[in-house]
């Protein structure tokens, strides 16, 4: 397969500074709605990048489960690789890859742990199977086999039954990423893409254009 010749010409639209909303959260909401309306598969899927205390990077897909003036919310196991990374360095990056729209949004910010009441409210909203899965899986830790994982799920299912409410697992929770930099990227012909960036300062948000 010749990867050197694998490319597409972008040209679905453009983006200029007058097109931007007053703040990046409002602008993000606008693009997220457009991605959902366009039928993008899981438009709330994002790449979360973290680093160890030694600076080793790690990336994975997670789902955005909330967004507001304070930032971007996701849930996970605090004892997972990403949870361990964020415990030593709360700085992280998010990437929303909306390929069908020739768009991406890049976020750099700082993660903080969500309060227990927010975590419990979201956990209660999850399908029961996902709640059981959170109890059954020691996320990011070695497991002997698929059958061992299935056996763990079966034990949890037997423990809690089919109807009783499940408590939030002790290691399970969520994070809010407070953005400091948000870049909106729109593909353009001849690789002359539009890259418009919000940066948080003492007096609020400033915007600028970056060369592609």
Indicate which residues carry an active-site annotation. Answer: 191
Six-digit token pair at 175? Answer: 């994070």
CA-nearest of 181, 42, 36 to 105 is: 181
Pick from 92, 16, 13, 23: nearest CA to 52: 92
**Chain position carrying tokens 């034990």:** 155
Q: Per the structure block, which two tokens stand in for 63? A: 């789902």
Please name the residues in contact with 17: beta carbons below 8 A apart, sequence gap of 6 or more.
Answer: 196, 207, 209
Quickly list H helices, 72-176.
81-88, 116-125, 128-136, 146-160
Exposed / middle / buried, residue 195 (Cβ in 10 Å: 0-12, 13-18, 19+): middle
> Which residues, listed in sequence order, are joined to residue 182 by a DSSP beta bridge?
107, 198
Q: What one-character DSSP code corresponds to residue 113? A: E
H/E stretch holding 104 reads: strand 103-113
Among 202, 210, 198, which residue's Cα sits nearest to residue 23?
198
Which two tokens mark 98?
Answer: 């909306």
């Amino acid at each position: 397969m010749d990867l050197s010749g694998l490319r597409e010409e972008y040209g679905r639209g453009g983006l200029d500074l007058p097109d931007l909303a007053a703040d990046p959260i409002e602008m993000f909401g606008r693009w997220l709605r457009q991605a959902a309306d366009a039928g993008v598969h899981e438009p709330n899927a994002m790449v979360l990048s973290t680093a160890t205390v030694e600076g080793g990077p790690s990336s994975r897909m997670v789902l955005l489960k909330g967004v507001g003036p304070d930032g971007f919310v996701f849930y996970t196991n605090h004892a997972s690789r990403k949870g361990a990374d964020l415990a030593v360095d709360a700085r992280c990056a998010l990437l929303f890859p909306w390929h069908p729209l020739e768009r991406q949004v890049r976020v750099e910010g700082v993660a903080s742990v969500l309060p227990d009441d927010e975590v419990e409210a979201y956990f209660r909203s999850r399908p029961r199977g996902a709640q059981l899965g959170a109890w059954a899986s020691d996320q990011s830790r070695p497991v002997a086999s698929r059958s061992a994982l299935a056996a763990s799920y079966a034990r949890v299912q037997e423990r809690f039954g089919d109807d009783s409410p499940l408590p939030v697992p002790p290691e399970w929770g969520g994070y809010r990423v407070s953005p400091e930099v948000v870049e909106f990227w729109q593909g353009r012909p001849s690789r002359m893409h539009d890259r418009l960036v919000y940066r948080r300062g003492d007096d609020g948000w400033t915007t600028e254009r970056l060369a592609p």
